[in-house]
Structure 1
Amino acid sequence: MIVEHLNLVDFRNYATADLALLPGPNVLVGRNGQGKTNLAEAIVFLATLGSHRVSSDAPMVRDGHEYAVIRARLSVGNRRVLVEVQINRQGSNKARINGSPSKTNELPRYAHVVLFAPEDLQIVRGDPSSRRRFADQLLIQRAPRMAGVLADYDRVLKQRTALLKSARARGIRGDALTTLEVWDDKLIALGSEIIDARLRLASDLQQPLAAAYTAIAGADHSPELEWALSVSGADPEEGEGGSFNLTDRSLSLSKGAEMFRAALLAKRQQELDRGLTLVGPHRDDLLMRVRDLPVKGYASHGESWSVALSLRLASAELLRAESPAGDPVLILDDVFAELDADRRQRLASLTAGYEQVIVTAAVEADIPEPLHRHVVRIDAGTISDDRVTDADEGDAP
């Protein structure tokens, strides 16, 4: 897939913006705070229906306006597709594909993007929500229908939790709260599907992760992924241990649903006492290990960066292998400034062969030669393309 043209209206610091991109490497250069990352964020939103910087949509709408528009012309295989999303400060977003109204969760069917950013270090070192967000955004790209499943789960979770809080306030206990069973059924059905998809994702990422880590770090430290599941007794949000061993593939969707129901029953009194839903994929964590030690708390800064980069490379390779539309677009957003010289060169060499790469940098000299091609300069929201300048100079008398 290739992004040929990006148009923004009232998105972040841009009243309007137009950006033309080429196949191969594209470099967006500008001082910090000029709007480079905003362009990257807009492209990522089309693929994941979310931001890598904020958890809600409202901050992406320019101050004083009610909605923003992202519009992109994509080259997908042998055809061109015009995709558009209106991000509303309040209410549901709206989408159009080739001019016709569409569901927003259809957008990831056309837009495949993998982003590398400084925030990726939080996937490794941050709280469990960072790792859940990483996994779920990749799930949506693998199977766009999961956007609806995840949204429905969040809705049911909020309604069930509101019921628990209401019961707590009214002093209702145990079997007296019969309506909770209805929400249990919905939570289990949706949550079991999410857990199953996450487990399969972690398993499928294992081999490309190991290969990417060796290529990035220059060493084989046996990186591993494993989900700590609240349905099997773990509670990462409370700092409690427990996990599901990925080498045991016996956890079918039906067995997962049984475990989910049993865990809810076991936690029922605690949930009523606290007014919280304590079991489900919203409480799970993706555990990462190198050298048979947890990355969080044990890995060095360099190892942590290698794991973060390897997760993104493994994601790109997985999408590349599964998508009939070709390579995902790779976006390297201010990531080279965070890396030492050796990791810069390794990352550049590993990504340069993708159909399209978009690199942002505050310092042009930070960009390794394999990626230093088409240069676009960003200054206070103004976009200037070196190709246009060169063409103008060549036409001058």
Structure 2
Amino acid sequence: MRKVLLLTIGMFALGFDAYVVAGLLPDIGAMFKISASQTGQAVSVFTLCYALAAPVFATLLAGKPVRRILVLALAVFSVGNGASALASSYSLLLMARAVAGIGAGLYSPLAAAAAASLVSKQKRGRALGITLGGMSMGTVIGVPLGLIIAEHLGWHGTLWLITALGLIAMIGIVLWFPNFPASAPPSLRQRVAMMTNGRVSATVGITFMTSIASLGLYTYIATILHNLQDINIITPYLWAWGIGGVVGSFSIGTLIDRTGRPDLLMAGILAIMAFAMFSLPLGLKFPMLAFLPFVIWGAMGWASQAPQQHELLRLQPNHGAVAVALNSSANYLGSAIGSALGGTVMLAGLAPSQLPYAAGCLVLVTLLGQLVIVSCKGEQEKEKLNND
């Protein structure tokens, strides 16, 4: 597990970068004199490039030494963040965020697959939970810290800190991570079969829909809080969301290992997430309850990844890295679409205060899809028992 913990350092930097930008959007918008819906695209371009990079590079670099690829990914990630800090125009910032997204898209799925390879099958869920926990720790510790730094040094200072963390993670992997080859790249026929496999497509589709709702909504937290209750200090709410994320990330792995039913756990996660989103506007009216929906939402959002990865690794045991990359791609493609969609509907006239309800409805639709998957899996298991 010590080698797995080493991977979490890089995941911490990725989580810090992916989620602190939402809190920096008001400052970025003020500097470049652009609207909230426009600044939201700084999140979209990062997550879109992340989504596109994950499956492409997982295939191209499969079979290469894992350590070398992880180091390359963190180098690209760090360069992208350094360029973001130096950006003198919004266009340059978007290009730099794209580079950082490519580095993150290369690192994250490979780190998850490597973590699963380093432990026994019985501990796989825990290893995935710990790895994703590093990313959630980046939100609970990094995001508030980044916003505090931004108050004193500007948003550029926060991005320089992320750059330094990426370089530290890169050095740690060079010095202490074992050098073993990734799984052999699948053939073109196997790749197509993976994409057309009904169970794989359904699992990835649930991840995609969940991300549109959860991460898309997260992008506009600052705008939503200001619109609902005229709240301008958003750090405590991001902190609450991140704390929930840590709890969800580190506890879900144990639940997967104990129950052996990641599909049922995913259904429960979606039901609780929908409840949290619907209760968010109401909770903000009561100081004692204001942070609870954020904690629950964060916990369920972060907990949703490990069951999906675990299921894909079971469905595609010989090509785990590619399957996890596909899921990671769906997650961040959903985030990019959610961010863009949120900006679009606000431009069309939807009040930011209505975004939590819209996201909650989308989660309920996703829950119905997950229940269909659970039902089909149950029928297949019954048929297998009858045939045996």
Bigger fraction of residues in strand: 1
Specify which structure has the higher proportion of helix. Answer: 2
For the pair shown, the structure with the greater C-alpha radius of gyration is: 1
- Do they superpose with TM above 0.5? no
Q: TM-score, normalised by structure 1?
A: 0.28
TM-score, length-scaled by structure 2: 0.29
